[in-house]
Amino acid sequence: MKTIKGLIMAFQFFTSIPIPYEVPMDRVHIEKAIKTFPILGLLQGIFYAFVLFLISEWTPLSPLAAAFFVWLSMIVITGGLHLDGWMDASDAYFSYRDLSRRLEIMKDSRVGAFGVLSVIVLLSAKFLFIYETAVQLSYSTYALIAFIPFLSKSVMGILLIRVKAAKEEGLGTLFKNAASRYTLWIYPIYTLILVGVFFGFWPKVLGGAFLLILVAMMFVVFAARKTVKWFGGITGDVLGASVEGVEIALWMTLWLWHYFATV
């Protein structure tokens, strides 16, 4: 029951889906929420794959329209939460100020020019990758699409726990303090189960799945080093930016996979 409540908390914090159920904000339930990050991502990914399947297979709409609705659903479901982190982190990074000033910039509710430009580039690139993938669809593609948010939310949980906090207050610190060194043990189990499902139903997708896992692992190593160097550690905005960053890298990987491999 606590795990279900943790998943509800994750939905309440990281999606725009209204769930009228109050979950206690204590350490136990917050840790359960962290453990369910990958499940939340998988459910999001299944929804995106379903939207693409529904439009591609059951409507006369073009791949361009299908890509647009998938792209739009990502913004609607998350409520732009991670995009806000991406813009704030971009404003802070491109200010080229010292660490303390960068943290102040991320706290500012106003969005600067660099934040606007960076989110335009991000959303444009994501739309391109989704569209190019929609043009070359196969049934195994849907499994890989569902896998992307699963990995991005796993990366968020890993960075949250493994990278030091940049400040002593904030949402990121609240979640980080509730975790323990045993919190992440469930993530590899989730991954092995999904890979097993892929092997059972879509054997041809395994190569793409392992490639996405490799890219996600490389991103973790990169982000763990650079977030400390650029921002002094993890904040809520930096975590949001990391989710967007790893997702765009994974969508690009999926796009290239369709060009250079048989899915």
pLDDT in tens, 39-82: 999 999 999 999 999 998 899 999 999 999 999 999 999 888 88
Q: Which domain range does residue 208 map to?
A: 2-260
CB count within 10 Å of CB 58 equals: 8
Q: How high is the pLDDT of residue 43?
A: 94
Q: Across residues 139-155, what is the average pLDDT?
A: 92
Q: Are 233 and 166 in contact (CB under 8 A)?
A: yes
> Average of pLDDT values for 235-261?
89
pLDDT band at residue 172 using 50, 70 and 90 as cut-offs: low
What's the total number of domains in the chain? Answer: 1
What's the pLDDT band for 237 if we cut at 50, 70, 90?
confident
Backbone angles phi, psi at 224, to 5 degrees: -60, -35
Predicted TM-score (pTM) of the model is 0.92
pLDDT class of 263 with cuts at 50, 70, 90? very low
- For residue range 82-116, what is the model confidence (pLDDT) as tens digits? 888 888 888 888 877 777 787 777 776 777 788 88
Contact 172, 160 (CB under 8 A): yes
User: How are the residues of the chain apportioned to helix, strand and coil, as percentages rounded to the nearest 5?
Assistant: 80, 0, 20
Residue range 202-218: mean pLDDT, rounded: 88
Rounded to the nearest integer, the mean pLDDT of the chain is: 86
